[in-house]
Structure 1
């Protein structure tokens, strides 16, 4: 019979707070604001006061590891679910400060009216009225202090409220202090469970069914490990990801004096002046890249096991594996956060034409590209001036083929292994020949462009190609496609939507095809209006012949033809009407695919 996967325990509120204080229950030190509303804290206290159930807390025991001297270090319990409830208790009962939405430490004070008749008026989030009104105890944390004297308190309370009997006050205070003895269910998961089992248990118990990611487990493991510096390494990850999105968070970060004294703080300081949003990694991205770089593995579940000290062969847990794993992870994170590495990688992606974050779809594809940059930068067989070239080619190749979309960890694991075995250049040439054949460019890619999604990898690759090749926008010499994407511009229907709908093409799946899109200057778009292509292109041809500019700035037929070419628009479009629409879509998809092919081969 298979052993139990968990132990169901009952702990009093007081016992849980004591276990946390003794660091047996470890709350991940998340440097993010306390996300519960203060009213939710009030409701939790009210539920405990009335003896209502407050849900289960889930902990996952870190394994006991063998230390170098042969002794055994007992694993601590990492809080997997229930952190908000525990933090609420620590804030309201123990009087501990929490981070507010501006990342400042603040108290959450719950007021108590011992004589309230209506239960919904017994507790409240403290405001000025509760301090003025002598019937209210402004902060229940005072009641739970070790030196609290209930007799003295009752006497003082009755002195302020002469109509109240001391016994009534004492009974209410006794009931309030009874919260400390209320039982909370704790599900202790055994350390032998793998991540998939822990996740499944979490989902089945958690009423919201919120999935836990593997990176959540890694962050929890790191937070629980003070001995190996995991808690500080976790801060690096959290602070870096926060600064990448919000550089003005830096002044709040350095309020963490313990972290500010580390060399990590100086290594991520550059983000305070970084406003680039091409690659804003979250902690899942950062952990994944650092793990792949240092361990040559891609499954984050393996990192959880390694940080626990697991020997994959003997299935034992050993201290030296824990030490080595933290050392390697530290190396990977340091490479990830290095300003030069990060900025050069971003420049490589932008150099490939992906100059807007809205053009980037798969974060996994971006993660692997950064891993590749880090690996190739250390590869003596790759000339330094070729690193970006290969990163760009691989990024576009994997974007176009959706290599890391279906089962990303499996694909990444295989690529890492074969790159190490064959060398990157040899492996890259094999993959390129396999997935980017002539059939891909002439058949598969045009088929992939048969979509209405402007977020499709194929369409974004087309825009990247136009940016990389310095293509002018339609009808405007000197106004580049990149200018319109980054600054202002409209995605225009080459066959205007209103024109198509008025002529019977009223399905979004037809008139919103990406092959019918092009970027236009706003003023040009207004001038084109809802005219048929033969009408507004006719005006463009006329202005080329007469020299009287009606819209845009193209003044010769040669320039117009060149402008059509760089926007992958068939020359025949200038005389097309609604009856030619389907022919136009087929022809334009082919031209878009050829432009992407030319761009890729020129990278």
Structure 2
């Protein structure tokens, strides 16, 4: 017989809030900043007052953990869904502060008018109006006596309909007696099952990632510094994108500002590099895989809960050591030296702009490779070469595009079991064979998608070679990418359109080059045979019409570095397909030479 995966019960609002106050329900302080505006809190209070349902709250029981002295600690309920509603209740009814989307601690005060039976957000005008109860938390905190308060209110407002006021104030006092549905998910459920239940119950079909569950587990743990660890992950990923947020933390979270974590991420306040802006999921994944030799975040949830995989019990020692190892991993991730040296290595492979990096998982695992090799004391020159090659290998093979967690898990275990150089060579021999370079990659370049990872790897090969832009004498591909240069067509787009070619045909990777805007304007919609004839005249002393190249040898060097076949001088619409195939082969050959130079 199937075991019930969860229980559904109705509880009084006051019971739910008592659990929150006692810590039985753990609300991660910044699991998600409170993003509701005050009007939504007002509407929630009105729904409760009117007797409308406010949806289910979903919690997941932490497992009972065996302590060092042999006793068992009962697990808390971790809030999985309903944080905004529960936080709204604690703000309006208990008068607690909330952390808003700017990470500031603020109070949301909800007022109530017993005459109109209307809720509103407190304003200075409402405070001055004696018919309003300016802050409902002042009478719903459990300390006020309804009889006394009603008498005081009626004495202050003798002209109103007293019977109506008594009824509405009494109804307000009964607000915390209203019921809310609570779904308790069983402690022994795995993440996949919890996710499935969550999606089926949640009417909006919101998908919680495994990283969300990990963050909930971390933040709910007070004993091993979970709140601080959670903030370190969240704040770092926020600062990486918005350095100006640094002052927010310093001003509004003074306790965290005193921590070693905050000190270690101070360097981000003046950092505008955006090549790698990791989200909290990325920080977690890298820190976890680096420290635990595992790739599946569901394992981290179990480890943070204290799971002993052999005995299938939960032990405090395992939870404690897991929190410590994860903390060490976060420290390694956010370390300024590690982070900047890693980015220098990625840039040295020619990936100099964030638009060239389409796979966050590829760069995540490259950082894992860097951190693990550094921890093992590998020679720095070897580290740089291995990281460059593994990153580009991952990009070219789409290694982490399918099931990244499974692949992370496989790769990190392989790295742990033998020398990395041996594993890298094995993968290169298996997946980067001659057939890959001569056939598979050539076919992959048969695409119209300019964001293709293959095209970006090709551009990286040009950046690393310090190649000049198409028909440019001094401006490099790197300059054009860095300063937002444009991709243009060797066979001009309008020329191909006039000859009846559809969009997917003229927008081909093999027809793309980085070219200066002014050169592209001069080319217009001329056939290659036309503007290349004029280029030859330019190289033989005629007027400089297309850029500054003024010698035939320099022109040929430029064509070679941009993988343009020599036959382009006489090409027109009849030769377009031939041109595309020939250029794809040249691009693949360049990428091969580039890869093995890394």
Q: Deviations over 1:491-536 (max 9, x none)?
A: 101112211111110x221111111111111222222222222222
- Name the counterpart of 1:291: 288
Deviation at 1:568, TM superposition (A): 1.1
- Equivalent residue runs for 1:44-443 within 5 Å: 44-116=44-116, 122-151=118-147, 153-154=149-150, 157-158=153-154, 161-254=157-250, 255-380=252-377, 382-443=378-439
Deviation at 1:87, TM superposition (A): 0.7
Alignment size in residue pairs: 597
User: Which of 524, 543, 546 lines up with 1:548 in the alignment?
Assistant: 543
Q: Deviations over 1:285-324 (max 9, x none)?
A: 1111111111111111001001111111111111111112
- Name the counterpart of 1:7: 7
- Name the counterpart of 2:484: 488
- Name the counterpart of 2:16: 16
Deviation at 1:85, TM superposition (A): 0.3
Task: Name the CA distance, whole Å, in 2 between partners of 1:595 and 1:309.
Answer: 51
Task: Name the CA distance, whole Å, in 2 between partners of 1:216 and 1:283.
Answer: 9
Task: Name the CA distance, whole Å, in 1 between partners of 2:132 and 2:511.
Answer: 68
8 A Cα contact 2:31 2:215, kept in partner: no
Task: Name the CA distance, whole Å, in 2 between partners of 1:101 and 1:325.
Answer: 30
Task: Name the CA distance, whole Å, in 2 between partners of 1:480 and 1:91.
Answer: 57
79-88 or 491-500: bigger deviation: 491-500
Task: Name the CA distance, whole Å, in 1 between partners of 2:157 and 2:529.
Answer: 88
**Structure 1's 76 and 5: CA in aligned 2 closer, same or farther, altered over 3 A?**
same
8 A Cα contact 1:242 1:249, kept in partner: yes
Segments of structure 1 that go 5 or more residues without pairing to the other structure are none
8 A Cα contact 2:65 2:314, kept in partner: yes
- Name the counterpart of 2:515: 520
Q: When the two structures are superposed, what TM-score results if normalisation uses the length of structure 1?
A: 0.96
Task: Name the CA distance, whole Å, in 1 between partners of 2:147 and 2:407.
Answer: 69
Superposed CA RMSD in Å reads 1.6
Segments of structure 2 that go 5 or more residues without pairing to the other structure are none
Deviation at 1:336, TM superposition (A): 1.0
Deviation at 1:547, TM superposition (A): 3.7
Task: Name the CA distance, whole Å, in 1 between partners of 2:356 and 2:197.
Answer: 37
Task: Name the CA distance, whole Å, in 2 between partners of 1:310 and 1:161.
Answer: 61
Task: Name the CA distance, whole Å, in 2 between partners of 1:196 and 1:518.
Answer: 45
Q: When the two structures are superposed, what TM-score results if normalisation uses the length of structure 2?
A: 0.97
- Name the counterpart of 1:576: 571
Task: Name the CA distance, whole Å, in 1 between partners of 2:214 and 2:345.
Answer: 29
8 A Cα contact 1:154 1:166, kept in partner: no
Deviation at 1:130, TM superposition (A): 2.7
317-326 or 415-424: bigger deviation: 415-424
Task: Name the CA distance, whole Å, in 1 between partners of 2:326 and 2:2.
Answer: 34
8 A Cα contact 1:68 1:320, kept in partner: yes
- Name the counterpart of 2:581: 586
Deviation at 1:88, TM superposition (A): 0.8
Deviation at 1:257, TM superposition (A): 1.9
8 A Cα contact 1:298 1:409, kept in partner: yes
8 A Cα contact 1:68 1:319, kept in partner: yes
Task: Name the CA distance, whole Å, in 2 between partners of 1:514 and 1:126.
Answer: 59
294-303 or 592-601: bigger deviation: 592-601
Task: Name the CA distance, whole Å, in 2 between partners of 1:2 and 1:332.
Answer: 39
